[in-house]
Chains A and B, each alone.
Chain A
Amino acid sequence: MINLWPDNVSKEKWASPVSLLREQARFLGDQTKNLVTAEVGTASIEDEVFLYNFYIVAPTLNNYHYRLFSIEHNIEMYPVTFYMDEQLGNELNAMKKKPSNFVDIAAAASRRQLTEMGFKTNHNEYTKRADNEDEFIKIVGEILKSVRARQVISSLRSQAHAVPEEDIPF
């Protein structure tokens, strides 16, 4: 039987949204001595819909995970829908939108699983959309530079390595 696939079927490679997020996740530890890191978790892959969660993690605080945002896309990768909480959504002028049924189910399942594992969860009431890779990178940059992200990282960083009072010079 002859091979009917095109010669270059596996040669075309695109930078997927999740791979871009994983690259960014690696950078956070560099700036925090790995006291606070970031992780991308696969929330679900079902019926050609891919859902990923981007966590800020404090490994030394009982491996505390804070879900900063989620992304959802189908097999074509773009457009990507970002889901985030109210505070981040307001900061980024995101649209308040009830998530799709699928995301409700996936998020609920994800929340139950994460709660059982001791992860903190938050709601995904606000959304933004990226139609292509450039827009995706722009929105990721806005999220990572946001006041909300910095608050979470700073809070976890200071709790992870609490400075004894006698070391504070004032």
Chain B
Amino acid sequence: MPLISILFWNLNKKPLHRSIASIANLYGVDVVILAECEMDPSEVLVALNPEHSKPRYFFAPSIECEKIVMFTRFPASFMPIVMEADRLSIRHLRTPEMQNGVLLASIHFPSKLHWDESDQAVESSQYSSMIRDAEDISGHQRTIVIGDLNMNPFDPGIINTNGFHAVQSQLIAMKRTRTVQKQSYAFFYNPMWNFFGDLSSGPSGTFYYPPKGHASLYWHMFDQVLLRPDLLSTLNADSVSILDSDGKDTLLNSNRQPDSTKYSDHLPILLRLEI
């Protein structure tokens, strides 16, 4: 089965086109999804398609989603838009090599700087509803959510039944739904739980925020991948990674935290699935 590789990176408005191209080339990325990208898309496209080689990447224009920019290693017609909002783009991805298509929901969720936990929980129910509508339109639930959710995996917006309802155990997710007060809610699986702490390989999160008060997590897992159970058979131990290098330079500073001076304050995440 073909391997589909999807990269997401919140660039923190930095001109990181060279690093993006380096990562895309190193991992053979099929879909590049960027948030807080202030570069002109043509700048990124030229970096992704170097001189003296056949261009491989296409820009996939959005209609309503202004917060996310996408490039694909195939014509954008293989990833038509199903539904969009300002911070959400849901596309149906199916290349000729893929047996079945998938829904790819890319998100740059409102941040905790401006919204509190309650605001985020309410908003996540809106996004979750749109994703279900897109699944009804597409006739399947092979759905990937990827992006900067600006919430941790344990935050209410991620775990609530009317939010993303994402759980840390594949066994639980494979039950597909849970019923609460006679209402059934579909699960997502959240592989990002596996990256917390430093006993797992790689960085302990995707975003580092030093403590201001008495309680602080230091590392946050704002950039996440969520998968519907129908895609769990395509998952293995290497399917999801948090990248700490662009292949040429480290993205971390001397304290092993995201180097927000030279690069972004977020680390990129990479998803690879055999679909």
Contacts and interface: CB of A to CB of B under 8 A. Distances in A.
Nearest to A57: B61
Contacts of A37: 58, 75
A38 B59 CA distance: 13
Interface of B: 40-43, 45-46, 49, 54-55, 57-61, 75-76
B42 A60 contact: yes
Given A35-B42, A160-B42, A161-B43, A29 B58 contact: yes
Interface in A17-33: 29-30, 32-33
A35 B59 CA distance: 8
A60 B59 contact: yes
Nearest to B62: A63
Contacts of A59: 41, 58-61, 76
A137 to B, nearest CB: 23
A62 B57 CA distance: 17
Contact of B46 (A29, A30, A35): A35
Given A59-B76, A161-B46, A34 B57 contact: yes
17 contacts: A30-B54, A34-B49, A34-B55, A34-B58, A34-B59, A35-B45, A35-B46, A59-B58, A59-B59, A59-B60, A60-B40, A60-B59, A60-B61, A160-B42, A161-B40, A161-B45, A162-B42
Interface of A: 29-30, 32-35, 37, 59-60, 62-63, 160-162
A161 B61 contact: no
Contacts of A160: 42
Contacts, number: 41
A32 B57 CA distance: 11
Given A33-B45, A33-B46, A34-B49, A63 B55 contact: no
B45 A60 contact: yes
Closest 6 CB pairs of A and B: A33-B49, A63-B61, A161-B42, A60-B41, A59-B59, A33-B55
Contacts of A60: 40-42, 45, 59, 61
A29 B58 CA distance: 9
Contacts of A35: 42, 45-46
Contacts of A162: 42
A163 B58 CA distance: 20
Given A34-B49, A59-B61, A161-B45, 14 more contacts: A30-B55, A32-B55, A34-B45, A34-B59, A35-B42, A35-B45, A59-B41, A59-B58, A59-B60, A60-B41, A62-B61, A161-B40, A161-B42, A161-B43
